[in-house]
Amino acid sequence: MQILAFNGSPRKNGNTSTIIRAMLKGAKAAGAETREIRLHDIELKGCQGCLSCRKRPGKCKQKDELSPYLEAIKTCQGMIVGTPIYMYHVTGQMKIFVDRCYSLYISRPDGSGYDSAVPAGKRFALVTSQGHPDVERFQRPIRWLAGMTGLGLGMTEVGRIIQGNSHMAPAKADPELLEKAFRIGQKLVKGE
């Protein structure tokens, strides 16, 4: 059983990364194999809108370092998606990742919507951090990211951490927050 973490933060030891690693620790303690994919450290190309994934459902035509991870989403038990909020939205690398996940959406023949190339029963957790103290302020990108992962890929959300005021109150100095992240990581493996 494997838990994948897609980290959209450019900061290796920033708040988003710290919270993601606490979740991965929890998943590992619950018996999972874990893997953190730092989107800023791999070569990833943006979606070209070529629609070749409509001809080969579940397969993206692009060949880069993200390609094997898109395939791994189909076989992992669950995943963590984490990003800081920059300029009212997710980071650019996280947006590229989500756009490329479009290849995992399978168009219904009657045009009524999409199904997922990801087998049912998988779980996900969400992590965002932001400098602004009001965590309600940036709900739109958070809802969007949760929707793309949950509704879009057909995964069930087991928990989320939205950290506000991250510049003044860093995650590494908040044992309660890290304990909550650890428990969410365990839920990814064990369920509710």
pLDDT over 90, % of the chain: 85
Say what the pLDDT of residue 109 is: 87
Q: What is the pLDDT of residues 4-24, one digit of tens each?
A: 999 999 999 999 999 999 999
Per DSSP, 103 falls in state G
Per-residue pLDDT, averaged over 114-134, amounts to 94
Judging by DSSP bridges, how do beta strands 78-86 and 123-129 pair with one another? parallel
Q: What are phi and psi of 124, to 5 degrees?
A: -145, 160
Judging by DSSP bridges, how do beta strands 114-116 and 105-107 pair with one another? antiparallel
Pick the CATH number of 2-190 from 3.40.50.360, 3.30.565.10, 3.30.70.1290, 1.10.420.10: 3.40.50.360
Joined together, the tokens standing for residue 114 give 């999409």
What's the pTM? 0.95
Give the integer Cα–Cα distance in Å for 118 and 1. 15
How many CA atoms are closer than 13 Å to the CA of 101, on its beta-carbon side?
25
Show me where the domains of the chain are located.
2-190
Per-residue pLDDT, averaged over 54-74, amounts to 95
Does the pLDDT of residue 84 top 90, yes or no? yes
Joined together, the tokens standing for residue 171 give 């995650």
Q: At what angle do helices 175-190 and 15-29 cross, to 10 degrees?
A: 50
Per DSSP, 151 falls in state I
Does the pLDDT of residue 111 top 90, yes or no? no
